[in-house]
């Protein structure tokens, strides 16, 4: 038995609270609106007892609550550097008895990318405020199999009881006190055997328990529900049942043994039937085979109700839902039908017959049984796309839900957004529905670069997976993502200091040159043929006059191209260095790596080591002042450093006050300020606290501008850009919660001499017992959050998006419709004769036959 007392003791042992002396300034924070999600939504859960109450969870950006006007409210914006892994939500449970209660199982990775254990967060006000209990193991909100579920469920008859199915072989856990304390259900011995791919730490962990489904009809209100089904990621027996409220368990005999994993177990109470979707992969990217089955609880009979016969399928199944108002109405999605588009089916006869959302009408003709409306996020469709078949229904559909109070209302999550509609019954009457983008308010993008070029639009973004945008208006969804050339991910973006309308961006593509140039502030682009589609890209810098591009390539180290001539290697700047161009002198580029600064005075042809930044061992960012030649700054693991002589010598800013820094940027000086220097905004550790700070006097005084309701997640994963036109405005690009912009709402605190003294106190047991955080601003919550920040600051791993590095070197042949490429994919990359390996996205290429 583990309880919160154990955590309290652990807290005393590990947490040293550092006295905090820097001032803060109130800011108003809003999302830069894209209106359409921008990332994978693995779970959507409706409350079965309260009309209109629904939640969505994301894998790297927290959870959201649905509003009556179809918009969403974020529920986890308090997450800060100290608890960054809480933005990974592996499971969500809403309470059928007390509908105000909400639970999240949080934690990002179960491998060493995330050093922290997971937690169960619980709310009694629908996610406005939270209390949490740390679990004695990790939770993997961004791990393989994160769309299976839900792994966390509250008993619909006795809501004190919750079950949570863990990953990594940690088994089934139970709480009898509304999620406050948890104990291992040792009678449940099927802790999972399936791993996606044992050769990489990210895919080698046991996916574990996939879902917990109560059968409310087996019990009565006020007593624990006797019948509970549990699905486990096993290739053998994988669906288990208890008839005694979880005391004893057995395999549900007769379960078909195809070696597939159960993704969803959805109960149709009035039919006394459990519907199950199976796929041969854990998802969300893989899966080429699978079935849909129903288990008739009254008769114990299993029936294969797959919409596609097993001999013809080239996909597994994911999202599954029943209409609680209309027994026998069931919907299921192929987890991934990568070509020509995702498939969703609907049955009104308990799965005997199905109708699809689209069907071939003699290749290449397709009947689309839907109208497609994306006014909330027009960029979801690239207006210049030349693809033969538009991908509109989506991919990675694990979340699929019919509103239990409104048979016309449905929602489903994809790899990029939430779709759904309000006329679902038309599927049965006219076999035609209106598919709408319904993710407004969900801003889930993983942001890799931001610039606010002087004289240009308010903002340009570089974004993973969906490319990034020209934001002509911060509060209105962009019409299109950056295109022609179109990159799945844009990895870097920069402008020329003397000609800010000249912009460069780098990205990933299977066909286009991976560098693009614009001369109209990023409104239109042309491919830079100095790069090819095989030039792997990372950050990028454009010289002050716009003639020279310096690229930190992911494949070939430092590369340089002038006047669009072929990129050539720059061996004198180490691979992986951070880079920047001088914004006023066209000859000068800066780089930094391992605590050392490198400067080029010959437009990037060669670099010379110029300065060592004290005892710094890592340089996290280097930035040149937007208008002052030779004025360059670097943030490191020891603080912020400044040079006024083209990087020849550096001095440390804020002496002992600022002890680490990550992304930062320069903004317009205040007109009332005595100092004319630009405001510096960035993520720094100041007086022991890691947060978003600004300084208006080059590090003499600092103001924290993040707050208890806006913590922005992992400091190391952000990009910060400030605005030389609007005093006070700053942009924060997050890894999974989109882009925020902030403007001051409180006055600048009066200057005080900066305290350089730091004192240490030991946290009390009571502060650490439970971390209570409120989405309304309270100083108590901030104190709690900072308590843990000092202990995790230096150990926080860079939270990467799911686009990690493994690439395949195999030359073997994949099967027809088999996977043949993608990030983390390690199988065969060739296709049979007559088949082509077709790129769908960074994560998935498939052998297809396109005549």
Ligand X SMILES: *[C@@H]1O[C@H](CO)[C@@H](O)[C@H](O)[C@H]1NC(C)=O
CA distances from 487 to 484, 491, 505 (A): 9, 9, 10
370 versus 683: smaller Cβ distance to ligand X: 370
603 sits near ligand X (criterion: CB under 6 A): no
Helices and strands in the chain, H and E counts? 4, 65
587 sits near ligand X (criterion: CB under 6 A): yes
Part of the chain binding ligand X (CB under 6 A), chosen from 36-44, 70-78, 165-173, 719-727 = 165-173
Part of the chain binding ligand X (CB under 6 A), chosen from 90-98, 585-593, 673-681, 686-694 = 585-593
26 versus 375: smaller Cβ distance to ligand X: 375
Closest distance between ligand X and the C-beta of residue 294, in Å?
6
Helix (H, G, I), strand (E, B) or coil at 620: strand
Binder of ligand X out of 271, 428, 510, 547 (CB under 6 A): 271
CB contact at 8 A, 335 and 317 = yes
350 sits near ligand X (criterion: CB under 6 A): yes
H/E element, 197: none
Q: Of 626-645, which residues contact ligand X (CB under 6 A)?
A: 629
484 versus 815: smaller Cβ distance to ligand X: 815
Part of the chain binding ligand X (CB under 6 A), chosen from 167-175, 395-403, 453-461, 691-699 = 167-175
524 sits near ligand X (criterion: CB under 6 A): no
Binder of ligand X out of 9, 13, 14, 310 (CB under 6 A): 310
Tell me the β-bridge partners of 611: 597
Tell me the β-bridge partners of 182: 2
368 sits near ligand X (criterion: CB under 6 A): yes
CB contact at 8 A, 718 and 772 = no
171 versus 283: smaller Cβ distance to ligand X: 171
H/E element, 745: none
Number of residues that bind ligand X (CB under 6 A): 28
Closest distance between ligand X and the C-beta of residue 272, in Å?
7
Closest distance between ligand X and the C-beta of residue 795, in Å?
22
247 sits near ligand X (criterion: CB under 6 A): no
Between CA 72 and CA 829 the distance in angstroms is 40
245 versus 705: smaller Cβ distance to ligand X: 245
298 sits near ligand X (criterion: CB under 6 A): yes
Pairing of strands 459-463, 447-451: antiparallel
273 sits near ligand X (criterion: CB under 6 A): yes
CA dihedral 49, 51, 57, 61 (to 10 degrees): -140
Catalytic positions are 59, 465
369 sits near ligand X (criterion: CB under 6 A): yes
Binder of ligand X out of 270, 299, 761, 807 (CB under 6 A): 299
Between CA 141 and CA 86 the distance in angstroms is 9
The closest of 90, 146, 79, 85 to 114, measured between CA atoms, is 85
161 sits near ligand X (criterion: CB under 6 A): no
Between CA 283 and CA 300 the distance in angstroms is 29
CA distances from 266 to 5, 127, 196, 276, 840 (A): 36, 24, 24, 6, 30
Closest distance between ligand X and the C-beta of residue 335, in Å?
14
Q: Of 427-456, which residues contact ligand X (CB under 6 A)?
A: 432
Binder of ligand X out of 123, 142, 277, 289 (CB under 6 A): 289
Tokens of 5: 């007392």
Helix (H, G, I), strand (E, B) or coil at 623: strand
Please list, in sequence order, all residues whose beta carbon lies within 8 angstroms of the beta carbon of residue 498, skipping any fewer than 6 positions away. 544, 545, 546, 583, 584, 586
664 sits near ligand X (criterion: CB under 6 A): no
For the four alpha carbons of 612, 616, 618 and 620, in that order, the dihedral sign comes to: negative
588 sits near ligand X (criterion: CB under 6 A): yes
The closest of 129, 84, 128 to 106, measured between CA atoms, is 84
2 sits near ligand X (criterion: CB under 6 A): no
151 versus 505: smaller Cβ distance to ligand X: 151
Between CA 179 and CA 162 the distance in angstroms is 7
532 sits near ligand X (criterion: CB under 6 A): no
184 sits near ligand X (criterion: CB under 6 A): yes
Q: Alpha helix (H) ranges present in 114-165?
A: none
Question: DSSP secondary structure string, 55-113?
Answer: EEE-SSS-EEEE-TTS-EEES-TT--GGGGGGG-EEEEEE-SSSTT-EEEEE-S-SSTT
Binder of ligand X out of 73, 99, 193, 296 (CB under 6 A): 296
Ordered strands of the 370-373 beta sheet: 370-373, 433-437, 418-421, 410-413, 400-402
13 sits near ligand X (criterion: CB under 6 A): no
Part of the chain binding ligand X (CB under 6 A), chosen from 79-87, 530-538, 582-590, 785-793 = 582-590
CA–CA–CA angle 575, 581, 585 (5° rounding):
140
Binder of ligand X out of 74, 88, 118, 171 (CB under 6 A): 171
The closest of 244, 88, 90, 102 to 179, measured between CA atoms, is 102
197 versus 271: smaller Cβ distance to ligand X: 271
223 sits near ligand X (criterion: CB under 6 A): no
68 versus 186: smaller Cβ distance to ligand X: 186
Between CA 562 and CA 3 the distance in angstroms is 62
Binder of ligand X out of 29, 178, 317, 646 (CB under 6 A): 646
27 versus 607: smaller Cβ distance to ligand X: 607
Binder of ligand X out of 199, 270, 353, 367 (CB under 6 A): 367
Helix (H, G, I), strand (E, B) or coil at 490: strand
Part of the chain binding ligand X (CB under 6 A), chosen from 365-373, 466-474, 632-640, 773-781 = 365-373
Q: Of 370-399, which residues contact ligand X (CB under 6 A)?
A: 371
Neighbours of 128 (CB within 10 A): 15
Binder of ligand X out of 111, 176, 601, 769 (CB under 6 A): 601
Part of the chain binding ligand X (CB under 6 A), chosen from 99-107, 362-370, 589-597, 675-683 = 362-370
3 versus 98: smaller Cβ distance to ligand X: 3
331 versus 447: smaller Cβ distance to ligand X: 331
Closest distance between ligand X and the C-beta of residue 449, in Å?
26
Closest distance between ligand X and the C-beta of residue 831, in Å?
14
H/E element, 786: helix 779-792
Closest distance between ligand X and the C-beta of residue 372, in Å?
8
Question: Would you tell me which residues interact with ligand X (CB under 6 A)?
Answer: 137, 169-171, 184, 186, 189, 191, 258, 271, 273, 289, 296, 298-299, 310, 350, 367-369, 371, 432, 585, 587-588, 601, 629, 646
């Amino acid at each position: 038995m583990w309880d919160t007392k154990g955590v309290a003791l652990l807290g005393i042992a590990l947490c040293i609270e550092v006295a905090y002396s820097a001032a803060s300034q109130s800011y108003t924070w809003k999302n830069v609106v894209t209106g359409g999600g921008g990332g994978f939504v693995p779970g959507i859960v409706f409350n079965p007892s309260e009309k209109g109450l629904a939640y969505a969870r994301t894998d790297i950006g927290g959870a959201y609550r649905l509003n009556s006007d179809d918009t969403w409210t974020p529920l986890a914006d308090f997450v800060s550097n100290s608890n960054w892994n809480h933005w990974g939500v592996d499971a969500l449970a809403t309470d059928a008895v007390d509908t105000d209660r909400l639970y999240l199982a949080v934690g990002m990775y179960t491998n060493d990318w995330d050093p922290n254990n997971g937690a169960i967060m619980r709310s009694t006000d629908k996610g406005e405020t939270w209390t949490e209990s740390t679990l004695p193991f990790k939770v993997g909100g961004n791990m393989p199999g994160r769309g299976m579920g839900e792994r966390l469920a509250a008993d619909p008859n006795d809501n004190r009881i919750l079950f949570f199915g863990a990953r990594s072989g940690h088994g089934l856990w139970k709480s009898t006190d509304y999620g406050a304390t948890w104990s291992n259900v040792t009678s449940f011995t099927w802790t999972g055997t399936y791993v996606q791919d044992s050769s990489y730490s990210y895919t080698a962990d046991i996916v574990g328990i996939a879902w917990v489904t109560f059968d409310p009809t087996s019990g009565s209100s006020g007593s624990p529900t006797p019948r509970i089904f549990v699905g486990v990621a096993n290739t053998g027996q994988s669906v288990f049942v208890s008839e005694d409220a979880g005391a004893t368990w057995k395999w549900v005999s007769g379960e078909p043994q195809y070696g597939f994993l159960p993704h969803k177990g959805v109960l149709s109470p009035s039919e006394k039937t459990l519907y199950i979707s199976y796929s041969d992969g854990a998802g969300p990217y893989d899966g080429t085979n699978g079935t849909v089955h129903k288990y008739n609880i009254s008769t114990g009979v299993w029936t294969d109700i797959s919409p596609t016969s097993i001999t013809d399928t080239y996909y597994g199944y994911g999202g599954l839902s029943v209409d609680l108002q209309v027994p026998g109405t069931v919907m299921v999605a192929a987890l991934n039908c990568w070509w020509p588009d995702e498939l969703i089916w609907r049955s009104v006869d308990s799965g005997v017959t199905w109708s699809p959302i689209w069907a071939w009408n003699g290749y290449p003709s397709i009947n689309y049984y839907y109208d497609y409306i994306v006014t909330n996020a027009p960029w979801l469709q690239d207006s210049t796309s030349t693809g033969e078949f538009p991908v509109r229904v989506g991919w990675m559909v694990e979340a699929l839900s019919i509103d239990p109070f409104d048979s016309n209302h449905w929602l489903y999550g994809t790899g990029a957004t939430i779709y759904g509609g309000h006329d679902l019954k038309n599927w049965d009457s006219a076999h035609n529905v209106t598919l709408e983008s319904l993710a407004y308010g969900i801003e889930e993008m993983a942001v890799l670069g931001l610039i606010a070029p002087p004289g240009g639009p308010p903002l340009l973004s570089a974004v993973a997976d969906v490319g990034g945008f020209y934001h002509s208006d911060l509060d209105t969804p962009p019409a299109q993502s950056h295109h022609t050339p179109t990159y799945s991910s844009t990895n870097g973006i920069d402008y020329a200091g003397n000609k800010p309308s000249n912009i460069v961006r780098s990205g990933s593509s299977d066909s286009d040159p991976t560098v693009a140039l614009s001369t109209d502030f990023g409104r239109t682009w042309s491919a830079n043929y100095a790069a090819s589609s095989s030039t792997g890209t990372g950050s990028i810098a454009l010289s002050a006059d716009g003639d020279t591009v310096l690229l930190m390539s992911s494949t070939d180290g430092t590369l340089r191209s002038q006047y669009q001539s072929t990129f050539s290697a720059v061996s004198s700047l180490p691979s992986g260095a951070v880079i920047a161009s001088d914004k006023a002198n066209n000859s000068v580029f800066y780089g930094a790596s391992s605590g050392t600064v490198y400067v080029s005075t010959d437009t990037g042809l060669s670099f010379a080591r110029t300065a060592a930044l004290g005892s710094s061992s890592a340089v996290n960012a280097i930035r040149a002042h937007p208008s002052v030649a030779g004025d360059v700054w670097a943030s490191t693991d020891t603080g912020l450093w400044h040079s006024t002589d083209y990087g020849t010598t550096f001095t440390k800013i804020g002496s002992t006050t600022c002890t680490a820094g990550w992304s930062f940027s320069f903004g317009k000086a205040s007109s009332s300020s005595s100092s004319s220097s630009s405001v510096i905004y960035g993520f720094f550790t100041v007086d022991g606290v890691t947060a978003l700070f600004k300084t208006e006097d080059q590090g003499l005084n600092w103001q924290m501008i993040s707050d208890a309701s806006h913590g922005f997640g992992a400091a190391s994963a952000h990009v910060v850009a400030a605005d030389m036109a609007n005093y006070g405005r700053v942009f924060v690009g997050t890894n999974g919660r989109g882009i925020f912009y902030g403007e001051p709402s409180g006055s600048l605190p009066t200057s005080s001499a900066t305290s350089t003294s730091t004192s240490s106190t030991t946290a009390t047991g009571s502060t650490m017992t439970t971390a209570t955080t409120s989405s309304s601003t309270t100083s108590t919550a901030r104190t709690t959050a900072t308590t843990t920040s000092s202990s995790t600051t230096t150990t926080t791993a860079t939270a990467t998006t799911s686009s990690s590095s493994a690439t395949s070197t195999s030359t073997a042949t994949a099967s027809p419709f088999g996977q043949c490429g993608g990030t983390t994919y390690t199988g065969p990359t060739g296709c049979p004769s007559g088949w082509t390996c077709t790129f769908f996205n960074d994560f998935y290429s498939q052998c297809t036959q396109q005549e």
